[in-house]
Amino acid sequence: MKIAIFGVGYVGLTSAACLINDGHSVIGVDVSESKVRMINEGKSPIFEPGLEELLTLGVQEGRLVAYQEIGDRLADCDIAIVCVGTPSAVDGSHNMGYIAEVSRQIAVASVSLPERARPLTVMYRSTMRPGSIDKLIAPIFRGFHGPTLSKVELVYNPEFLRESTALKDYYAPPKIVVGTIDGQPSATVDELYGNIQAPRFYVGYREAEITKFVDNSFHALKVAFANEIGRICGREGVSAKTVHQIFVSDTKLNISPYYLRPGGAFGGSCLPKDVRALTYLSNEVGAETFVLDAIMRSNDAHKRYLFEKATEGAAPGAKVLLNGLAFKANSDDLRESPYIDLARRLLQAGYDLKIWDPQLEPSALTGQNLGYSFAHLPEMTNLLLRTKEQLVEAGFDLIVDARGDAASLGLDGVPVAAINSLP
């Protein structure tokens, strides 16, 4: 198949790479001139293990090309996949401006499509509140196509990709959820995911749209809950590690160990954004979800706690190395990283801070990742160390270990404050 992808961030690029690997041809569309240029050079605008190799393959074989505008290129496409961002608005809801604009562009471009055996499947993967297709997207298409929408099939397909394992997650998802107008299967989507084995759910739009909210809010809740228990244990001299082992051994009632290990605060581009948006929706409809309301405050409290634990006993002005700045290892995503917050607190407290995160290249950051990182840590470029020699020469008094691999740094004898796993 030939597939157009609108928005080449983490989800869009991962989808493109896996589709290329499956033998499809891909057109990438993004407003960023630098992203388009890098993709057409076979380079990835982001770091994700295995991603760039597949993008390079697609360019070399002529099965991947990127543009800033779609023009008339939808004419021979089978699917248009929308992966543009839905960042948090000031009130916590999702900003749907990018979705609306891309929908308008696709609606205009698809009006003149010739008659074909199957309509163009327009698949949305961006996280959106329930009712987004019914109340926002479908009306935009009907404004250009008329009431029947015979030339397009609107589908909602939430993604369950984790950064640093995104390619593996694409081929081994926990489930495949597809929202359609009548809750019935889509032949095009079945063909697209034909080789992927996972529980498959065909549901209405709204059930599919809320799925990601529920999943991410529960993941965030598990992290916040585990960290609250870890803080209590820490204050009472109890081993949080031992309590965690006991708790997760109960696979009948406590479900699974994922997201339930006391350690770092949650962050990244999904959990904070979706918790805020679901909280906003709950307040709007009067659902009074007090646990959800407390998740972000609990996470903020844990960030303060991690700073206290990391600097316990450290002398004023000590030379501190923060091992890891992105919100998780094997990623260069700094959006809402709790370690940016920690770095800022260390600087404000007067510590002489340096940072080690070899996956980060400030000049390669783009879009919201670029904006967030420098808005919240403008000193980042000067704080990052580039070589192991610089690590050794610096003479640190303390390593604040956000990655759990401080031993690999070769700084024997330097005290380590491990914050990714509470003792």
Three-state secondary-structure class, residue 72:
coil
- The structure tokens 């032949």 sit at 187
H, E, C per residue of 154-192: EEECCCCCCCCCHHHHHHCCCCEEEEECCCCCCHHHHHH
Q: Let me know if the fold of 214-306 is the same as that of 311-418.
A: no
Amino acid at 107: A
DSSP structure class, residue 136: I
Out of 126-135, 248-257, 321-330, 358-367, which region has the weakest mean confidence (pLDDT)? Answer: 248-257
Q: What percent of the chain has pLDDT over 70?
A: 98
Q: Which fold has domain 214-306?
A: N-(1-d-carboxylethyl)-l-norvaline Dehydrogenase; domain 2 (1.10.1040)
What are the pLDDT digits (tens) for 256-295?
777 667 788 888 888 898 889 888 888 888 878 888 889 9
Q: Which of 18, 83, 233, 270 is catalytic?
A: 270
Amino acid at 222: K
**Superfamily (CATH) of domain 2-198:** NAD(P)-binding Rossmann-like Domain (3.40.50.720)
- For residues 238, 240, 245, 246, the Cα torsion angle rounded to the nearest 10 degrees is 40
d(CA 173, CA 196): 8
Enclosing H/E stretch for 297: helix 290-310
Arch. (CATH architecture) of 311-418: 3-Layer(aba) Sandwich (3.40)
* 270 catalytically annotated: yes
- For residues 399, 325, 17, 202, the Cα torsion angle rounded to the nearest 10 degrees is 110
What confidence score (pLDDT) does residue 271 get?
Answer: 87
Domain spans of the chain?
A: 2-198, 214-306, 311-418
d(CA 177, CA 170): 13
Average pLDDT over residues 411-423: 87
User: pTM score, two decimals?
Assistant: 0.83
Angle between helices 271-285 and 290-310 (to 10 degrees): 150
Q: Band of the pLDDT at 182, cuts 50, 70, 90?
A: very high
